[in-house]
Structure 1
């Protein structure tokens, strides 16, 4: 069966391929021959076939250790799809019922199961160990083997216990597979599994079809929405570090008309796998996820991977970007980077054991140097994985397509290093930057650092410039940060050498990566009524008056002043854009919007106005959940006191929320509550007042109608009824 024809025949029979790719065939033979085997192939290189094919052909059951339940289900389904019998593959994990578990065990013992997927946690359970001792095992395959190494990007302590358990169950060849591993990680894996003599199959890490780009994290939501709209209908994944950000971003995308869903470990399993399936079935275009998503996701046509937050390690970055363009087609990898995010990640590390901090710090530093470097992204990435990329220009990354400006900074680096030495290597970068620019901060005063030679020696540059000097000196290995008191700048041998014989030092210019802009352009509409464009604002007010007369309504019912002000800043020219204006919802836009957007469109054309592009972003207030809750409660005729009580707020706050809902055009019927608070005559009196009023001021209504008769809340509630009945 070792002759070539047969292996290719089996490949054709089970997988439908007529030939192996890369080193697959050699690796398959190594497994068939019973060797311990180490396989390092980038995502999309066909790793799983290397153990799946031998498992189907060899006698016994292959035990596949895999870290994620979703991943197992995915793999089991795909193998069953190739085979006539469902029994051929099973998984063993905590999600199975007692009956299902028994069925799996019976199939395995009967010899019908060729692949048994097991989570490392399930492998350690006593009854599973006892059961596996009775099974004839063909080999153990350890998928995502980088989880073994503390230097890997996804370390799992339970992975380090695999070897002792294998010894307990019974020996068989071990196959370790991963898509990312530096030399350090590879050695760690082989050593921990006791397979240092394993046959190693290593494919190139270069994914020529992937385009890499790092962007400054300024208004990232706006940039992301624009990017997705320019790539309409394409599948993509967006990674965020926190679950909260995942949910907020998914909601923002939905509000902006993008088919997106969230995915993170905090969701219940059914929702999570449901969302994953919708992505695979193309019912949604975009998944916003924490890194929990995507391990082993076999979607070949993911066209973009966006990192909203920079990953903690280059290995993680490589793994996640590697989910784009697996079919060899286009794959855009865009990462938003701000040094503030790095500082956040550094903060997370405090309080962890020093050894772990040291590892984390080292991995982060590699990420920063990748992000801030001006040389080809591929050169850095491949060098990180121990591979040399010989071209100087890959033609498919931002640095090669738009070379960054550099300036000679040898003299500045010398000044920076001298300042570090002058304060005995006991201070952090921002403190030393302040010394150089001559800034007498409280700390500088208390340490009397305004007396050192370097004080003011760098005032020809600003603080950001000096921070960049320190960062890039760190990348070049001239200084590093102390581990014990993390952040203090320390000189290295190389740094002392540089001071003795300064050489050319090219500093990358225009990496404006530090300033994180305000997240989203919410329009910043003036709260009063002074618009951005006074001429347009006046025209909009006239139009409002005209429509109000025609409909026999007070003008404020149609649109309130802040909405007109926002229109005069944003220039919306379609009803869709109008809905993104402050205080304008779908209802308002449909009812009154047509004439307003026509006026604005003509005005923009006549005056050749360039509209702000960032306009497209529609923000979700975090209050949106609150709004839905209030609307549902009002539908169920629940009193405002009870609504407020259940949310732990005051009735006044609920009234404010309801005002906002009604002002943007949603119709609400609060009669059931009003009838409890005010009798019919009083209701009628306030309603008639607003019908004739010049404006919607509550204070003027109270002055006119008498503060002894009505409370402020009474007037506000009646104003809500008036706006809802007349305007919406």
Structure 2
């Protein structure tokens, strides 16, 4: 047993030609029967690290997972890939559990998922000792640490695995673990000389973007308009905000719903299931949503409000793009959000030490949002990971700010603060500089100040950004305990009175069309590819609904995109698609191939109409020269479905062509029945569905041609 067998298993059961970075070394460690610890970000491919070696080695692998919903999804995905897997947890009846245990006794399973509670139940270790166990995999291993954010006391008892099964290797996996938690994983599990693998926590496929908090709803609607049919999550700070957001989106025609801890367990489960099945495309949620969601095709995550720290933010955006395909993270930021969060922290009952730490983390979150350099670099540095070059996949890299001498603008801001006696917040300072004659300005007499209207030519959003920069540079303070009032300090006075120069940066606004072109450059699909992707996406959704599994278990978005690009129309071509294993092909291959052929045939028909019917005459000329349909297809570089379509058109128009070598009378009668039953003589899919796939699209097209010719003859 070695890495060669592991690569074969990877291809056979998962449809991948090669491992992702870091996976092969981890698999090798497990195959050498070494205890192994894996720290890898969500979406990095942790499950492959134990599933592949578990399938290579003789015996059964036992996977400990704390999340019942996630366990169910993973077992369904394995079964879909042709792996004999099952789970044991409290959601099953005793009869169901006995059936699974009997499968284990009979050697019919390769992978058994168990909850920690089930693992530690009376007599379960005795049951395990009767099996040939090749590996214990402990998922979400950070749950063993009281220092971790998701401590589970029952995880402390997992040390008994090593005591009871000293010769069975253990692999512990987590997506989040600081140094203290890492140490706990090693010691609390009694791991023997473990090999530790720490992967990069970068998620390079996620585009990072921050926008000012003004006009958020308008910006969200613009964002969604460019991303139809893409599943996504909008995180809001309050329960009420999730409901309001979902209602507003529904009113605009979007398929949205909400999720928060105030819903009953049944309602939460129901709405979560709708999202997993792609029956709800947009989830408006509090941070209660997402734990244990293994939905790989979330294409974007929006934060309507600033998160309280970078750990939360990183975990939440990590729910996007788990399939490795491009995803987007959009964060809205305003000083109002910062003030709200500071109030939560200072009034939340934490002791002074915890409060100071929470406020420091909020400051780092704010610094990220107001960053003027590569966002990914800022994010990775926070997590202690060196990131040397700019990422090229964030808004700052796309639109680098320009530095300029901003001393005059800084003096105007500081002067407005001084003249209001340091009693107003940033929004009011902007109103004064812009000359806004609102009620507060007039009541307080701010319209009489020398600085009133001194910055009419600068947009309000830009003034806000300049104020943020002055705060970040230490040239201006903010008194959160005085409703965010801006305060001068010693540095401010140097700028105002001593000629201290201030360097500011300006973000050049990008035209929305230009922004869209920039974001989609190199990865845009043609109109035909978009249509085919949507056609296959709907097919995937129907197949998933029939089998009661999430659509991404059929094929991930990445695999679906490759199918669209490659358009495989035979078994070898389909099996060459990344993510298509033998079992997947057997279940879905022919269905998707026929769908592709049907789509291409319709495209060919539309193309013919555009060319006023001349292209089929070229095919007729080649037929007269004695060439076979296959030879014509190759010479003209078109699909066989297109040639069948030409043949049908020629026959219908009365040309001397013989359909019998390609369409038997029995096949014609079956299609004729389908035409009469569905009342269709153009769209082939209803006929194909009526015939339950018994006759392929090419022959259906020929039969439609014959039917139309016979009908015309009767009418004459």
TM range (shorter): 0.5 to 0.7
Which residue does the alignment assign to 1:244?
Answer: 240
Residue among 113, 124, 132 paired with 2:125: 132
Matched position secondary structure for 1:312:
coil
Structure 1 residues 305 and 106, CA, compared in 2 at 3 Å: closer, same or farther? same
* Structure 1, 467-476 or 54-63: larger mean CA deviation: 467-476
Deviations along 1:624-647, whole A, 9 cap, x unmatched?
Answer: xxxxxxxxxxxxxxxxxxxxxxxx
Structure 1 residues 245 and 466, CA, compared in 2 at 3 Å: closer, same or farther? closer
Q: Measure how far apart 1:284 and its partner are.
A: 3.1
Are the equivalent residues in 1 in contact too, given 2:300–2:328 (CA < 8 A)?
yes
Q: Measure how far apart 1:408 and its partner are.
A: 6.6
Matched position secondary structure for 2:214:
coil
Structure 1 residues 183 and 510, CA, compared in 2 at 3 Å: closer, same or farther? farther
Structure 1 residues 413 and 78, CA, compared in 2 at 3 Å: closer, same or farther? same
Matched, 1:403 2:400: yes
Which residue does the alignment assign to 1:374?
Answer: 372
Which residue does the alignment assign to 1:156?
Answer: 150
Are the equivalent residues in 2 in contact too, given 1:179–1:319 (CA < 8 A)?
no
Structure 1 residues 312 and 409, CA, compared in 2 at 3 Å: closer, same or farther? same
Structure 1 residues 290 and 99, CA, compared in 2 at 3 Å: closer, same or farther? farther
Q: Measure how far apart 1:431 and its partner are.
A: 9.8
Counterparts of 1:586-601 in structure 2, within 5 Å, are none
Paired residues in the alignment total: 477
Structure 1 residues 466 and 252, CA, compared in 2 at 3 Å: closer, same or farther? closer
Which residue does the alignment assign to 1:725?
Answer: none
Matched position secondary structure for 2:121:
helix
Q: Measure how far apart 1:236 and its partner are.
A: 1.8
Which residue does the alignment assign to 2:278?
Answer: 282
Are the equivalent residues in 2 in contact too, given 1:304–1:324 (CA < 8 A)?
yes
Q: Measure how far apart 1:49 and its partner are.
A: 1.0
Are the equivalent residues in 1 in contact too, given 2:230–2:299 (CA < 8 A)?
yes
Structure 1 residues 13 and 296, CA, compared in 2 at 3 Å: closer, same or farther? farther
Q: Measure how far apart 1:48 and its partner are.
A: 0.7
Structure 1 residues 35 and 383, CA, compared in 2 at 3 Å: closer, same or farther? same
Cα distance in 2, alignment partners of residues 99 and 473 from structure 1:
67
Structure 1 residues 43 and 309, CA, compared in 2 at 3 Å: closer, same or farther? same
Are the equivalent residues in 2 in contact too, given 1:404–1:509 (CA < 8 A)?
yes
Which residue does the alignment assign to 1:337?
Answer: 333
Cα distance in 2, alignment partners of residues 142 and 401 from structure 1:
40
Which residue does the alignment assign to 2:17?
Answer: 18
Counterparts of 1:29-428 in structure 2, within 5 Å, are 29-58=28-57, 61-83=60-82, 85=84, 88-93=85-90, 95-108=91-104, 112-120=108-116, 122=117, 128=121, 130-132=123-125, 134-136=127-129, 138-147=134-143, 155-158=149-152, 162-167=155-160, 170=164, 172-181=168-177, 186=182, 189-190=185-186, 193=189, 198-295=194-291, 297-349=293-345, 350-392=348-390, 394-404=391-401
Structure 1 residues 373 and 188, CA, compared in 2 at 3 Å: closer, same or farther? farther
Cα distance in 2, alignment partners of residues 239 and 312 from structure 1:
12
Structure 1 residues 22 and 506, CA, compared in 2 at 3 Å: closer, same or farther? same
Q: Measure how far apart 1:370 and its partner are.
A: 0.6
Cα distance in 1, alignment partners of residues 157 and 485 from structure 2:
41
Are the equivalent residues in 2 in contact too, given 1:79–1:89 (CA < 8 A)?
no
Q: Measure how far apart 1:371 and its partner are.
A: 0.5
Matched position secondary structure for 1:38:
strand
Are the equivalent residues in 2 in contact too, given 1:144–1:178 (CA < 8 A)?
yes
Cα distance in 2, alignment partners of residues 412 and 164 from structure 1:
62
Structure 1 residues 431 and 237, CA, compared in 2 at 3 Å: closer, same or farther? closer
Structure 1 residues 347 and 396, CA, compared in 2 at 3 Å: closer, same or farther? same
Deviations along 1:268-319, whole A, 9 cap, x unmatched?
Answer: 4554444344334433322223334444644444322111222233233223
Q: Measure how far apart 1:5 and its partner are.
A: 2.2
Matched position secondary structure for 2:152:
helix
Which residue does the alignment assign to 1:689?
Answer: none
Which residue does the alignment assign to 2:578?
Answer: none
Matched position secondary structure for 2:299:
strand
Which residue does the alignment assign to 1:691?
Answer: none
Cα distance in 2, alignment partners of residues 432 and 335 from structure 1:
22
Structure 1 residues 128 and 300, CA, compared in 2 at 3 Å: closer, same or farther? same
Q: Measure how far apart 1:74 and its partner are.
A: 0.7
Cα distance in 2, alignment partners of residues 20 and 43 from structure 1:
16
Matched position secondary structure for 1:156:
coil
Which residue does the alignment assign to 1:419?
Answer: none
Structure 1 residues 84 and 233, CA, compared in 2 at 3 Å: closer, same or farther? closer
Cα distance in 1, alignment partners of residues 307 and 100 from structure 2:
38
Matched position secondary structure for 1:128:
coil
Matched position secondary structure for 2:306:
coil
Cα distance in 2, alignment partners of residues 390 and 412 from structure 1:
33
Q: Measure how far apart 1:186 and its partner are.
A: 4.5
Matched position secondary structure for 2:234:
strand
Cα distance in 2, alignment partners of residues 322 and 24 from structure 1:
19
Are the equivalent residues in 1 in contact too, given 2:234–2:282 (CA < 8 A)?
yes
* Structure 1, 197-206 or 405-414: larger mean CA deviation: 405-414
Are the equivalent residues in 2 in contact too, given 1:181–1:315 (CA < 8 A)?
no
Cα distance in 2, alignment partners of residues 473 and 7 from structure 1:
56
Cα distance in 2, alignment partners of residues 405 and 151 from structure 1:
43
Deviations along 1:454-483, whole A, 9 cap, x unmatched?
Answer: xx9x9999xx9999899768867999999x
Q: Measure how far apart 1:510 and its partner are.
A: 7.6
Deviations along 1:3-30, whole A, 9 cap, x unmatched?
Answer: x321212222322323222121211121
Matched position secondary structure for 1:22:
coil
Are the equivalent residues in 2 in contact too, given 1:38–1:176 (CA < 8 A)?
yes
Deviations along 1:196-247, whole A, 9 cap, x unmatched?
Answer: 9532323333433322111122232332223212222222222224333223
Q: Measure how far apart 1:75 and its partner are.
A: 0.7
TM-score by length of 1: 0.53
Deviations along 1:501-558, whole A, 9 cap, x unmatched?
Answer: x99875566899xxxxxxxxxxxxxxxxxxxxxxxxxxxxxxxxxxxxxxxxxxxxxx
Are the equivalent residues in 2 in contact too, given 1:180–1:315 (CA < 8 A)?
no
Cα distance in 1, alignment partners of residues 365 and 329 from structure 2:
15
Any gaps of 5 or more consecutive residues in structure 1?
417-428, 438-455, 490-501, 513-728
Structure 1 residues 13 and 247, CA, compared in 2 at 3 Å: closer, same or farther? same
Matched position secondary structure for 1:135:
helix
CA RMSD in angstroms comes to 5.3
